[in-house]
Amino acid sequence: MAVSRKISGLMEQGSWIRKMFEEGAALKQQFGDENVFDLSLGNPIMEPPPEFFSELKRIVDEPISGLHRYMPNAGFVETRAAVAAQLREETGLDFTANQVVMTAGAGGAMNVIFKTLLDPGDEVIVFAPYFVEYFFYADNHGGTGHAVPPDDAFLPDLDAFESAITDRTRIVLVNSPNNPTGVLYGADVLARIGDIIQRKERETGREIFLVSDEPYRKILFDGLEYSHVFERHVRSIVATSHSKDLALPGERIGFIAVHPDYDEGSELMDGLVFCNRTLGFVNAPAMMQNIVAKLQSVTVDVAQYQDKRDFMYEQLTDIGYEMVKPQGAFYMFPKSPIDDDVEFTAELVKHNVLVVPGRGFGTPGYFRLSYCVTDETLEGSLDGFRQAFERNSA
């Protein structure tokens, strides 16, 4: 057996998106790409903004001596300073390069954070519905994930959250705007999460870190403002990337930012830098660091995502689907018309529409669709959504 029993088991648990991908590939071969409506992946179809290509060209036209060599494991100081400047402007807190580590995307950032903070048996609390990789990341570093259920608006059930915290809880992980629901956690929710954490810290005598996985932070609709975790808890850490806001998922560029007022921040930073190195990332990609240093205030055209959100929300709710209206990111999480979300997504496959069952995000009875696809794909999917709904609603 080539793969360990443990990894085979984990692969089976995390296979929903892969299954849809395989089904999609088979359908595309049978019916042609244009007749398959694949809404299963969070891979933005938008190209990076023009500023990205200008910066790329600058590097080619005016090569920078030493750019491609090894560097400090935290990343180029100029890039970290640029990230800190943007954070200072957004939060009013006194961020400097010393609180920033450049990483291989948000996934890399979370692995570095978990490796740095977790002892064997420590718990990471996540809020359902969640990005399934969190459980694997916790397991990578000897921790275990613990899911807290949502309320009807897909915000955390705060009573359940409070009772879920134990003396093994080390990390509380939030993701807003959320994958898969598109829901944004407002200042009030984050304030209550912060209060609960602080109360539990006093009770258990243990430090608990609030980690915010926020790759969709800048993809917000209807003029909504982002509420930062830094205002809520001094032991807060951001893990993020430019995979979505600059449409660069293949380039693996992101960062970690640690609250500037945390009194053990310098020890924490040493740990994060050590783990970035020893997990084998060594440092985040050099060219991308050089480029994103210039693009901290640039974002893809969010209006296009909002138009797609409006279109799909209107069309699907007209058909009869129920859902919480997304406020950001590029996902929707409608209720399955039948209890069995796997059966319903299989019905959609019969109409060449690919989505992911809600149980892939720890929340059965729903399904996730990604609308970061072309308008033609969205329009083409509607007939299948209608037929599958009519066949399955009472």
Ligand X SMILES: Cc1ncc(COP(=O)(O)O)c(C=O)c1O
Contacts with ligand X, residue ranges (CB under 6 A): 42, 105-107, 131, 175, 179, 213, 215, 241, 243, 249, 254
Shortest gap between Cβ of 197 and ligand X (angstroms)? 20
Return d(Cα 124, Cα 144) in angstroms, integer.
Answer: 6
Shortest gap between Cβ of 253 and ligand X (angstroms)? 8
How many CB atoms are located within 10 Å of the residue 8 CB?
Answer: 11
Which distant-in-sequence residues (6+ apart) come within 8 Å of 383 by Cβ? 351
Residue closer to ligand X, measured from CB, 150 or 215: 215
- Residue 110 · residue 137 · CB < 8 Å: yes
Phi-psi group of 68: left, alpha or beta (phi > 0 → left; psi -120 to 50 → alpha; rest → beta): alpha
Residue closer to ligand X, measured from CB, 215 or 360: 215
Residue closer to ligand X, measured from CB, 82 or 248: 248
Residue closer to ligand X, measured from CB, 212 or 381: 212
Shortest gap between Cβ of 224 and ligand X (angstroms)? 18
- Residue 265 · residue 116 · CB < 8 Å: no
Shortest gap between Cβ of 213 and ligand X (angstroms)? 5
Mark out the alpha helices in the chain (DSSP H runs): 5-13, 16-31, 50-61, 77-91, 105-117, 133-140, 158-164, 187-204, 265-278, 286-292, 302-319, 341-350, 375-392
Residue closer to ligand X, measured from CB, 247 or 316: 247
How many CB atoms are located within 10 Å of the residue 111 CB?
Answer: 24
Residue closer to ligand X, measured from CB, 175 or 377: 175
Residue closer to ligand X, measured from CB, 27 or 174: 174
Q: Amino acid identity of 216?
A: Y
Return d(Cα 333, Cα 187) in angstroms, integer.
Answer: 22
Shortest gap between Cβ of 221 and ligand X (angstroms)? 17
Return d(Cα 201, Cα 237) in angstroms, integer.
Answer: 16
Shortest gap between Cβ of 123 and ligand X (angstroms)? 19
Shortest gap between Cβ of 134 and ligand X (angstroms)? 8
Tell me the β-bridge partners of 241: 254
Shortest gap between Cβ of 303 and ligand X (angstroms)? 21
Shortest gap between Cβ of 243 and ligand X (angstroms)? 3
**DSSP secondary structure string for all residues of 85-139:** HHHHHHH-S---GGGEEEESHHHHHHHHHHHHHPPTT-EEEEESS--THHHHHHH
- Residue 47 · residue 247 · CB < 8 Å: yes
Of the candidates 272, 242, 238, the one whose C-alpha atom is nearest the C-alpha of residue 258 is 238
Residue closer to ligand X, measured from CB, 79 or 175: 175
Residue closer to ligand X, measured from CB, 79 or 352: 79
**DSSP secondary structure string for all residues of 293-317:** TT-TT----HHHHHHHHHHHHHHHH
Residue closer to ligand X, measured from CB, 373 or 388: 373
Which distant-in-sequence residues (6+ apart) come within 8 Å of 297 by Cβ? 86
Shortest gap between Cβ of 204 and ligand X (angstroms)? 27
